[in-house]
Amino acid sequence: MNAFNSPGVTPAESANWEPQRLADLAGGVFLSDLHLFSPRSVAQDVQLQLRAYDRPAQCVVLGGDIFDFRWSTHASLQATLLAAQCWLIDLLENLVHAHVLFLPGNHDCQPEFLESLNVLSDRFPRFGWKPHHWQLGCNLFLHGDILDAGGDLPSLDRYRRRFHHGRAASKLAQRCYDVAVACRIHKTVPRLRHVPNKTCRALLNVVDRLALANAAELRHIYFGHTHVAMEGLNAAGIQFHNPGSGLKHMQLRLVEFTNLRDK
């Protein structure tokens, strides 16, 4: 039985993506929380910006909630799945040199969608995905929903199962969300829930639980989820970066990173 007919099962990540040459990546760009397919997303043109990073030694890291299955305006789960797959195919066909890594968030962790990523990685060798996090030298990338899940990977897996729904939000729920956005409530709540310094300290505790193979090298953490933009905030010698959100009235920026290596 595969992930397509086993609701709640997270499929295995693509196994053929991480060749040795990825250690030679010079850097790239991190972005997250576009919430595409939500009627409140204004990030539809981001692919044009990503073309600036289409070089062999670059990696585009898609850090979760790129797509929003919960608030999708498509008619069905299958329609949203197809739209997400087509968006990624368009990206991979337009970026002919750069590597692309997908890290799911709570709004795009659908098992059926993650299974389709393995098909894409077979078709595009420069593409792959990881279920939770990825470290490249001194840089750690993750979505950040682990902050709301309990701070460890088993809790994160349980938390994400709550988002494995087959139906998008109702029209009434969509209208209520529209009102919240019009009143800018969606800007205020994240700043109250995810105070930057407190968030950074919480992420440091999370990193301790991840048992990274190269934890001593870590200097930068790139994450999303909170919708609170952050540019190089320092905590305990680690710099934290967050691109913000592609929802209306919120700040979104592409966060560049460099793969610094000891000579």
Q: Radius of gyration of the chain from Cα atoms? A: 17
The pLDDT value recorded for residue 5 is 37
Q: 59, 136 in Cβ contact below 8 A?
A: yes
Residue 69 has which token pair? 């299955």
The pLDDT value recorded for residue 243 is 97
Picking from 184, 240, 187, 245, the residue whose alpha carbon sits closest to that of residue 46 is 245
Picking from 65, 250, 219, 217, the residue whose alpha carbon sits closest to that of residue 144 is 65
Low-confidence ranges of the chain (pLDDT < 50): 1-7, 262-263
Picking from 69, 136, 72, the residue whose alpha carbon sits closest to that of residue 108 is 69
Q: Model-level pTM greater than 0.75? A: yes
Decide the pairing of beta strands 133-136 and 139-142: antiparallel
Picking from 34, 92, 87, 86, the residue whose alpha carbon sits closest to that of residue 245 is 34
| pLDDT tens for each residue of 195-243 | 889 999 999 999 999 989 899 999 999 999 999 999 999 999 999 999 9
Question: What is the domain partition of the chain in residue ranges?
Answer: 22-258
Rounded Cα–Cα distance for residues 35 and 21 (Å): 31
The pLDDT value recorded for residue 9 is 54
Rounded Cα–Cα distance for residues 34 and 244 (Å): 9
Cα-flanking dihedrals φ and ψ of residue 61, to 5°?
-100, 115
Rounded Cα–Cα distance for residues 60 and 125 (Å): 14
Question: Residue 116's Cα: distance from chain center in Å?
Answer: 16
Amino acid at 163: F
Q: 84, 72 in Cβ contact below 8 A?
A: no
Cβ density class 78-106: b for 16+ within 10 Å, e for less: eebbebbbebbeebbeebeebbbbbbbbb
**Cβ atoms within 10 Å, residue 36:** 20
The pLDDT value recorded for residue 192 is 65
The pLDDT value recorded for residue 263 is 38
Rounded Cα–Cα distance for residues 244 and 225 (Å): 8
| pLDDT tens for each residue of 168-198 | 788 888 888 878 888 787 777 767 677 889 9
Q: Does domain 22-258 sit in CATH 3.60.21.10?
A: yes
